[in-house]
Amino acid sequence: MKKNLQKGFTLIELMIVVAIIAILAAIAIPAYQNYVAKSQFSESQTVADGIKTAVAEFWTQNGKCPELGTDKSFPSAAASYAGKYVASADIATGTAAKDPTCDIEVTFKTTSVSKGLQGKKALFKGSENGGNFAWACTSDADQKYLPQACQTP
Residues 6+ away with beta carbon under 8 Å from 24: none
Nearest one of 120, 121, 109, 100 to 55, comparing CA atoms: 100
Q: Mean pLDDT, the chain, as a whole number?
A: 83
Look up residue 14 and give its DSSP letter: H
Where do the domains of the chain lie? 11-150
pLDDT in tens, 100-130: 678 889 999 999 999 989 999 999 988 877 7
CA distance 58 to 65: 7
Residues 6+ apart with CB under 8 A from 41: 117, 122, 139, 141, 145, 146, 147, 150
Q: Per CATH, the architecture of 11-150 is what?
A: 2-Layer Sandwich (3.30)
Give the C-alpha separation, 140 to 107, whole Å: 10
Look up the pTM and report it: 0.76
- State the pLDDT at residue 70: 67
